């Protein structure tokens, strides 16, 4: 089968067993890859009600059909599991080099069930699989772990998806990290690995992935490159290649894209442009940049490696923080110290924490402290005030290593922390326990629907109208009339992109319909707009069905009032803005044909879609 290895690996850590199963072309066509195949497998193999941190949860590492084929922007893989944060479906994806290496090693996906009594890692090399002792790795950060694995295995070219100490200690903010700093961050996947005593999945391969029409793929890649370099977005692509997502940090802070002061502030009033400018690549690169960084098969290369040699928080080589991190540890907490940002980013990476939820949890804690909900006794003496850089670094260190009671509280994430202390819930900015990312629906109103309705709530990388709205200054974007059709279209297109392993930063090239350009030459399939729509809808529905089977309903996914302007802000760019989120959500449900109260799809719509028979049965539609 072109574009795939045709094999999935199933490892049972309780039994210590390994099994290969065939990935059929029918399944590949229906669910593409990534979280599409992941959702189908977990829906099939897991029972509802499984403990997310117990052996019955399954964690999967899944590539897409483009991964490892040389197709541009195809370096991503996805981690799936039941989320210990939401109790429902979880997926998160990451770039770097792990995904392509897994396919070169012979597998499209690895699913891990059960739990080990002692720390282990899974070693996959050119089709052979071993479960190996990881006791000596337990407690090591991700950089040290990777170095130790390279030494043990005698191979510097291994790639590994792993957890740091945060995942080992079951922090609900724990991410899966590969290549030292690329993170499948959100939803607590790292804690699921930790609960299985699974330190890492380590891969090495020298194989290749079959491509149906190599000449056509080469031509498609060339078209992408030409558009990137000479098309209408060429200037943007050039800037993005240089500075990555940090190109926008200051702009986002003052335009109202970045949330400020735990979503209760106004950028131009509470934070200011000058502070945020220090967090832009153009300001930081001259001081800290060591080299550029690009993920596998990326012609853009939007990353950079920094080094902080001196100052209060030297960290050695570290990755340039992405925009999300810069806002979460910047405007959200009113921090203007870029070296504190770099330190917090580094701590999150090496301990294995999701930087969005980590920064947002600190923001929640600061507001609690400022409002007297948390005291100096609670924080162990940390003066946790807005913009106190030293306090933020200390709190992040303790959250990462859980060396103190306060750190252990923060490691739960904001929602569980509020639950544990029985107060502070009024300052939470989360949906179903997931802290919101750094794009304010008051600037991009479409984000409200995506944050509330996607099966993984509170995500900016899931489809919808948010990005389009955010990019447009036209105030008509606040009118939800007619939003259902374009919202659903954008959603299902993005489902396929994510499932295929495509990086969403392809947006910066100006290339349109990239799935339709790359999937046909790689797979040899007829894959046009209709096939894309059906696959995207099937994937979205399967992820949603996982949540429905867990007893979830739309009312469980409530948007926090601050993110939609209830009440509206009285100054700044969002003065007077309230997002009619209920209308955007209603329009989406009507368009997709789901019941707005129960969330259930109709039997007939799933019947027409095909490939959803198990969902129809399980949900008794």
State the residues that interact with another protein by CB under 8 A: 235-236, 239-240, 242-245, 247-248, 250-252, 254-255, 257, 268, 273, 282, 322-324, 437, 439, 443, 460-461, 467, 470-475, 504-505, 507-508, 572-573, 575
Question: How far is 582 from 97, CA to CA, in rounded Å?
Answer: 40
CB nearer to another protein: pick between 94 and 297: 94
Asked if residue 349 lies in contact with residue 336, where contact means CB atoms within 8 angstroms, the answer is no
CA angle 289, 292, 293 (to 5 degrees): 125
Q: How many CB atoms lie within 10 A of CB 471?
A: 12
Question: How far is 340 from 410, CA to CA, in rounded Å?
Answer: 18
| Minimum distance, C-beta of residue 251 to another protein, in the bound complex (Å) | 4
CB nearer to another protein: pick between 216 and 578: 578
CB nearer to another protein: pick between 195 and 509: 509
| Minimum distance, C-beta of residue 185 to another protein, in the bound complex (Å) | 10
Question: How far is 405 from 610, CA to CA, in rounded Å?
Answer: 51
Q: Residue with structure tokens 């399967």?
A: 542
CB nearer to another protein: pick between 75 and 554: 75
Question: How far is 45 from 520, CA to CA, in rounded Å?
Answer: 30
Smallest Cα–Cα separation from 83: which of 433, 460, 449, 540? 433
Find out whether the peptide bond into 570 is cis, omega within 30 degrees of 0: no
Q: What is the DSSP letter of 568?
A: P
Residue 313: phi, psi to the nearest 5?
-130, 70
Asked if residue 427 lies in contact with residue 367, where contact means CB atoms within 8 angstroms, the answer is yes
573, HSE (Cβ side, Cα atoms, 13 Å):
22
Q: Residue with structure tokens 């229906």?
A: 30
| Minimum distance, C-beta of residue 287 to another protein, in the bound complex (Å) | 17
CB nearer to another protein: pick between 476 and 526: 476
CB nearer to another protein: pick between 27 and 443: 443
| Minimum distance, C-beta of residue 263 to another protein, in the bound complex (Å) | 18
DSSP reduced 3-state for 248: helix
DSSP reduced 3-state for 13: coil
Asked if residue 544 lies in contact with residue 596, where contact means CB atoms within 8 angstroms, the answer is no
CB nearer to another protein: pick between 41 and 254: 254
Question: How far is 375 from 263, CA to CA, in rounded Å?
Answer: 22
| Minimum distance, C-beta of residue 93 to another protein, in the bound complex (Å) | 10
| Minimum distance, C-beta of residue 473 to another protein, in the bound complex (Å) | 5
CB nearer to another protein: pick between 474 and 481: 474
| Minimum distance, C-beta of residue 421 to another protein, in the bound complex (Å) | 31
SS (H, E, C) 98-160: HHHHHHHCCCCEEEEECCCCCCEEEEEECCEEEEEECCCCCCCCHHHHHHHHHHHHCCCCCEE
| Minimum distance, C-beta of residue 70 to another protein, in the bound complex (Å) | 24
Q: CB neighbours of 147 closer than 8 A, spacing ≥ 6?
A: none
CB nearer to another protein: pick between 209 and 563: 563
Smallest Cα–Cα separation from 142: which of 343, 348, 306, 351? 351
β-strands 303-308, 316-319: how paired?
antiparallel
CB nearer to another protein: pick between 255 and 402: 255
Which helix (DSSP H) or strand (DSSP E) does residue 20 occupy?
strand 17-22
| Minimum distance, C-beta of residue 301 to another protein, in the bound complex (Å) | 15
| Minimum distance, C-beta of residue 266 to another protein, in the bound complex (Å) | 9
| Minimum distance, C-beta of residue 557 to another protein, in the bound complex (Å) | 21
CB nearer to another protein: pick between 242 and 423: 242
């Amino acid at each position: 089968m072109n574009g795939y290895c045709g094999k999935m690996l199933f490892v049972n850590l309780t039994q210590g067993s390994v099994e290969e199963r065939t990935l059929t072309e029918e399944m590949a066509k229906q669910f593409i890859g990534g979280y599409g195949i992941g959702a189908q497998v977990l829906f099939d193999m897991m029972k509802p009600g499984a403990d997310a941190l117990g052996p019955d949860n399954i964690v999967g590492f899944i590539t897409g059909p483009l991964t490892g084929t040389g197709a541009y922007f195809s370096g991503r893989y996805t981690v799936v599991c039941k989320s210990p944060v939401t109790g429902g479906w979880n997926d998160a994806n990451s770039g770097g080099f792990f995904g392509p290496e897994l396919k070169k090693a012979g597998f499209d996906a690895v699913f891990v069930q059960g739990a080990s009594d002692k720390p282990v890692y899974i070693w996959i090399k050119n089709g052979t699989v071993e479960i190996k002792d990881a006791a000596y790795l337990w407690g090591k950060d991700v950089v040290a772990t990777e170095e130790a694995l390279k030494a043990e295995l005698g191979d510097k070219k291994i790639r590994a998806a792993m957890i740091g100490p945060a995942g080992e200690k079951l922090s609900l903010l724990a991410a899966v990290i590969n290549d030292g700093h690329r993170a499948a961050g959100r939803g607590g996947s790292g804690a699921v690995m930790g609960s299985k005593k699974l330190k890492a999945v380590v891969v090495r391969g020298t194989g290749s992935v079959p491509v149906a029409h190599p000449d056509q793929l080469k031509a498609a890649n060339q078209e992408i490159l030409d558009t990137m370099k000479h098309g209408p977005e060429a200037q943007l692509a050039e800037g993005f290649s240089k500075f990555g997502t940090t190109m926008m940090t200051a702009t986002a802070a003052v335009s109202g894209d970045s949330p400020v002061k735990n979503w209760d502030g106004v950028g131009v009033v509470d934070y200011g442009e000058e502070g945020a400018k220090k967090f832009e690549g153009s300001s930081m690169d001259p001081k800290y940049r060591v080299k550029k960084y690009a993920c596998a098969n990326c012609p853009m290369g939007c990353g950079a490696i920094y080094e902080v040699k001196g100052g209060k928080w030297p960290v050695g080589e570290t990755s340039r923080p992405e925009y999300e991190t810069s806002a979460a540890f910047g405007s959200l907490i009113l921090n203007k110290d870029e070296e504190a940002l770099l330190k917090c980013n580094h701590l999150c990476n090496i301990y294995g924490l999701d930087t969005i939820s980590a920064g947002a949890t600190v923001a929640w804690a600061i507001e609690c402290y400022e409002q007297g909900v948390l005291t100096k006794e609670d924080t162990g003496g940390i003066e946790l005030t807005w913009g106190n850089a030293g306090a933020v670094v200390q709190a992040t260190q303790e959250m990462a290593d859980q060396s103190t009671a306060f750190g252990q509280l923060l490691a739960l994430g904001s929602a569980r922390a509020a639950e544990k202390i029985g107060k502070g819930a009024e300052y939470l900015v989360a949906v179903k326990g997931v802290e919101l990312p750094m794009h304010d629906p008051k600037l991009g109103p479409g984000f409200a629907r995506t944050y509330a309705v996607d099966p993984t709530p509170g995500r900016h990388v899931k489809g919808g109208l948010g990005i389009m709205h955010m990019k447009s200054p036209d105030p008509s974007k606040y009118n939800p009339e007619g939003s259902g059709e374009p919202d659903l279209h954008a959603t299902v297109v993005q489902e396929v992109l994510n499932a295929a392993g495509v990086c969403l930063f392809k947006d910066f090239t100006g290339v349109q319909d990239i799935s339709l350009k790359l999937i046909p030459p790689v797979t040899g399939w007829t894959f046009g707009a209709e096939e894309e729509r059906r696959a995207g809808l099937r994937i979205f529905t399967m992820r949603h069905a996982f949540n429905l089977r867990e007893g979830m309903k739309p009312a469980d996914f409530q948007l926090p009032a601050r993110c939609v302007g209830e009440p509206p802000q009285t100054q700044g760019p969002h003065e007077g803005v309230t997002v009619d989120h209920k209308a955007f959500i209603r329009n989406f449900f009507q368009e997709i044909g789901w019941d707005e109260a129960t969330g259930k799809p109709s039997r007939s719509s799933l019947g027409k879609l095909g490939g959803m028979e198990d969902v129809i049965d399980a949900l008794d539609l």
